[in-house]
A and B are shown apart, each in its own frame.
Chain A
Amino acid sequence: MTSEASPTLEVQDVVKHFPLPGASRLGRTLRRIDAVSGVSFAIHAAETFGLVGESGSGKTTLARMVLALETPTAGEVRVHGLVLGSLSRRPLREARRLVQPVFQDAFTSLDPRMRVGPIIAEPLAAQHVDTRKQRRAHVIDLLNEVGLAPDVAHRHPHELSGGQRQRVALARALALRPQLIVADEPVSALDVSIRAQILNLMNELRRSHRLTYLFISHDLSVVRYIADRIGVMYLGKLVELGPSASVYSRPAHPYTAGLVRAVPTTDASSTQRRATRSAPVSEMASPTDPPSGCRYRTRCPIAAERCTTTEPTLRSVRSGHLVACHFPLDAPR
């Protein structure tokens, strides 16, 4: 079934539409949200892929399809070559074991009435792994791996700090020895000092367990630390894709360039008060009524006639670095 050659995750031409309530007539949907509109990428074993974009760009919907929590309207999500949408219940459960989630807010993703021990053991029980006694020993090992003391197993989530709760969420995700961890904004709710600790831990775990991450965040500076490759999403489309160093140092899409500039830094130039700033102005267009042509054109400083009429497709600007823009920055014309 699974072959060595196939990537850990393949997302191919994935589309997801959500009908708007009250907007169907005679079974025909009149208005819908185009959350994801034809996205393709692959993540190979032991690679960390960072998916960046603003709220509403479709990155969370994509994550939910990878976790088999949503079914794509069109296209395929393959985990180790298995097409998630085509699986019957039993193989789907097996595939789910391979892909585990870590969410933004561990406080809402951990059951407040359960103690930490059972929370971490629950996926093992659900997949019928080990006896109860073995599971208990396993929990202690997992706590140790995420840097928590064994006695944390007896506490409730509300007795823990935000950073500790996110460690518990990681321990739970690791319990089934998954191949792919889908982390959706895992550090966005944390203080900067705690954020660094969790990112360091994720990097350690990645090395020790040969994990593959799909790491989703709206914050480029966070993704920068963890991702080997980065995909930038805008309004349901992948607009740029490439090795992180290349995307950061020479962004080719005007949107990515704006995101890079919006990162607060303390470089000498930016500590000048009211230095000129050029973060993207205005806000994203609506996914119920995306602009014609290039979807970013309504905010783009260099948009031209062609951007209104023709939708740009992903093409290579440098080795392994793709961009969907008619006028890529820093490119020979």
Chain B
Amino acid sequence: MATDVLEIRDLVAAVRQRRAVVPLVDGVSLRIGRATSVGLVGESGSGKSMTALSILKLLPPSVEIVSGQILINGRDLVPLGDAGMRKIRAREVAMIFQDPMSSLTPTMTIGRQVAEAVRVHSGGSRAETERRVVELLSMVGFPRPAERLKTYPHQLSGGQRQRVMIAMALAGGAELLIADEPTTALDVTIQAQILDLLDDLEQRLGMALLLITHDMGVIASRCDRVVVMYAGQVVENAGTANLFAACRHPYTAALLALIPSLDADAGQVLPTIPGVPPEPSAFPPGCRFAPRCRYSTEVCRVEQPSLDDPLGTGHFFACHHPLGIDQQAPP
């Protein structure tokens, strides 16, 4: 069996405080193969961005990886130091963020910024570098890229800036691209274009894609697999079609119900998820979703459900009362 591009095993990342260790990512496992995409979904504070930042070891100073493994092509990154990680970043793993304006240098032309990313990975003459820059910009969908080299970031639209970020991410020939809410700040039509581009790159370059979002609608037609996180843990992990056809975790169901439907009538009451996610310092015992779950019972409040695949279909979920299997009538 081919090695996965990314495999995360039992990752725990935490803030160490004087008296306690507060886990933000608490035992997360997931894997992504070549030319496939995984959507990582959850509300703000679910630990999805922390999981992504752990892979690149770009965690904020107060957060550290406590245990677990992060394997890129079978090699564990956790023990690597700064020098080792610099080689990994961009050459094997690249990342793009929600707001490309804050990731680009405002006083440098995009030609120079992409060239910088190219030179980090390969020597070569000035002309060769420029040729590669033009090639990268064309790959991410700039028509007439040679004319855009002298453009500054502020002269570009949000969608074009995100394309420049993707070009820089591709410069080192990364095998895994992590996209953290790459389209949240963009208009819907531009969002669709950027997602199409990511899709296309995944297929053409055989890249693995980890797409992080709070919006299930973005995942639906874009990802092969979906991993749902809640309060630092994975609560469901399944093939996209499986998940949308029959999700098992009530939290996933609640997220799915939030996707707007164009058929609904104006003025009708939208489904919401009551309450707010728990703070990492006050994760409830038992199932962490229990206080907000309409199906929760006594067992949910005392015993943490484990993430299992009881049907053997590659559909993992962590719930004592999975939907469609052991569903109790809501009170």
Contacts and interface: CB of A to CB of B under 8 A. Distances in A.
Contacts, number: 128
A219 to B, nearest CB: 6
A197 B274 CA distance: 9
Contacts of B196: 277, 279
Given A265-B262, A273-B240, A191 B221 contact: no
Interface stretch (B120-128, B212-220, B311-319): B212-220
A279 B194 CA distance: 11
B192 interface: yes
Interface stretch (A61-69, A149-157, A255-263, A312-320): A255-263
Contact of B215 (A56, A224, A228, A264): A264
B247 to A, nearest CB: 11
Given A262-B192, A264-B220, A283-B160, A203 B269 contact: yes
A224 B262 contact: yes
B215 A192 contact: yes
A193 B157 CA distance: 28
Given A259-B188, A273-B224, A265 B266 contact: no
B108 interface: no
Contacts of B17: none
B261 interface: yes
Given A196-B258, A224-B262, A266 B267 contact: no
B199 interface: yes
Given A220-B188, A277-B192, A281-B193, A228 B266 contact: yes
B266 A245 contact: yes
B260 interface: yes
Q: Which 8 A-B pairs have the closest CB atoms?
A: A264-B217, A221-B260, A279-B192, A196-B270, A54-B187, A196-B272, A262-B192, A266-B220
Given A192-B258, A203-B269, A225-B267, 19 more contacts: A192-B255, A193-B254, A196-B270, A196-B272, A218-B187, A221-B260, A224-B264, A226-B266, A227-B266, A245-B266, A258-B189, A262-B189, A262-B192, A264-B221, A265-B217, A265-B261, A271-B221, A274-B221, A283-B159
26 contacts: A56-B157, A162-B44, A193-B43, A193-B254, A193-B273, A196-B271, A199-B270, A220-B188, A221-B260, A224-B266, A225-B260, A225-B266, A227-B266, A248-B262, A260-B262, A264-B217, A266-B244, A271-B220, A271-B221, A271-B244, A273-B224, A273-B240, A275-B221, A279-B189, A279-B196, A283-B190
Interface of A: 48, 54-56, 161-162, 191-193, 195-197, 199-200, 203, 218-222, 224-228, 244-245, 248, 258-260, 262-266, 270-275, 277, 279-281, 283
